[in-house]
Amino acid sequence: MLTFIKPTLVLDERRARRNIERMAERAGRLGVRFRPHFKTHQSHHVGRIFREFGVEAITVSSVDMASYFAADGWKDILIAFPLNILEIGEICRLASRCSLGLLVESPEGLPALAESVAAPVGIWIKVNVGANRAGVDWNDRDLLTKICREAVRHPRLRLRGLLTHNGRTYAARTSDALARVHADALRKMRRARQALAAAGFRDLEISVGDTPSCSRLDDFDGVDEIRPGNFVLNDVMQLELGICGEKDIAATVACPVVSTHPARNEAVIYGGAIHLSKEDVFSRKEGRIYGRVCRLHGAGWGKILPRTLVSSISQEHGVVKTTASELKKLKAGDILFVLPVHSCLTVNLWKEFIRLDGVKIPTIRSFDI
């Protein structure tokens, strides 16, 4: 049995494996390429589980992360973050080691890129279908065409297709709403592709990839590739959205209880923003939620404690709001398992997972490379 003396990131690898298997099967059934996003786990070990299920192409969110996975033998890597031309040196080194895909949202960086790389790189156009974070507006035919025109001018650039991250699915609080925003995104992507085909740019692929739609929906008409990432661990955000069940959450942070406060039904845990991240999910009923809470159960963690949540968080402290009866069972020195709100941000804080069998699974943080 695991023992803990301070906050510890714990991995239930059996659950992660099941999540991977399920998504790989879905991708197969949907007839799309499965290019999972590896920013969630940032771990060679977890990456290798994907390989067992036939995955050969991956997504990452930085040049550094691409280097980390290239070092473990990954040969087809897409950096799903807008081209940062200042990193051109490292991009060129990477392009010589693997088949590299890059994201652009303007034609400006392309000539410099084409001049610098020795091996061909794939060019994906980031398309904005309404999330308004980054990307070319799906109906900005002029800009889309300009980028394509510039890309095909250079033999070392290989125009691949259109890519979006439909972040609006995270605001969809019902299945209907999810299906609606997803269908809307696909319609816009197909229209953009059509417009470019009419302008002479044929055979462009469509790449999409948010965990909510990839986990729950079956209509991927016209899509060539999906890039979900979060599903491998899931988290309280996915749970609140109804995208996963609590048994699909594969990572928690084990936190020692340091005090209990019966007058306000609260416990203070050693586990704060530097262990969980400060991500919250807002619930009208419960306010800002920083995590759900479980107790030890067998070789892992048990069910989510009823009417219990991490209600506030500072650098090292978390405050767990619970019921009088749950609080009575708690004392300083006990361990609570906190299910994180956003597993990607939580995992990025740690240098390793502890697996339920006690084995340490290294993971990188953004600046370890």
Positions that interact with a copy of itself (CB under 8 A): 4-6, 39, 61-64, 81-87, 89, 105-106, 108-109, 132-134, 137, 167, 256, 258-259, 261, 263-264, 266, 268, 270, 273-275, 277-279, 312, 314-317, 319, 331-333, 344-345, 348-351, 365-368
The HSE-up count of residue 105 (CA atoms within 13 Å, CB side) is 17
| 37 beta partners | 59
Longest dimension (CA), the chain: 71
Q: Which is nearer to a copy of itself, 57 or 85 (CB)?
A: 85
Q: Are strands 99-104 and 76-82 parallel, antiparallel or unpaired?
A: parallel
Q: Is the separation of the CB atoms in 256 and 263 below 8 Å?
A: no
Distance of closest approach, residue 350 Cβ to a copy of itself, in angstroms: 6
Distance of closest approach, residue 54 Cβ to a copy of itself, in angstroms: 26
Distance of closest approach, residue 213 Cβ to a copy of itself, in angstroms: 17
Distance of closest approach, residue 218 Cβ to a copy of itself, in angstroms: 27
Distance of closest approach, residue 153 Cβ to a copy of itself, in angstroms: 19
Full DSSP string of 267-310? EEEE--HHHH-S--EEETTTEEE-EEEEEEETTEEEEEPTT-EE
Distance of CA 48 to the CA centre of its chain: 17
Q: Which is nearer to a copy of itself, 202 or 264 (CB)?
A: 264
Q: Which is nearer to a copy of itself, 29 or 261 (CB)?
A: 261
Q: Which is nearer to a copy of itself, 89 or 245 (CB)?
A: 89
Q: Give the other-Cβ count within 10 Å of 82's Cβ.
A: 16
**Burial 234-249, CB ≥16 within 10 A → b, else e:** bbbbbbbbebbeeebb
Q: How far apart are CA 157 and CA 274, in angstroms?
A: 41
Amino acid code (one letter) for 258 = V
Q: Which is nearer to a copy of itself, 76 or 87 (CB)?
A: 87
Distance of closest approach, residue 238 Cβ to a copy of itself, in angstroms: 15
Q: Which is nearer to a copy of itself, 70 or 341 (CB)?
A: 341
Q: Is the separation of the CB atoms in 138 and 128 below 8 Å?
A: yes
Distances (CA, A) of 183 to 27, 170, 208, 211: 17, 14, 12, 15
Q: Which is nearer to a copy of itself, 63 or 148 (CB)?
A: 63
Q: How far apart are CA 242 and CA 330, in angstroms?
A: 29
The HSE-up count of residue 276 (CA atoms within 13 Å, CB side) is 35
Candidates 19, 77, 76, 69; CA nearest to 47 is 69
Distance of closest approach, residue 365 Cβ to a copy of itself, in angstroms: 7
Q: Which is nearer to a copy of itself, 40 or 308 (CB)?
A: 40
Distance of closest approach, residue 136 Cβ to a copy of itself, in angstroms: 9
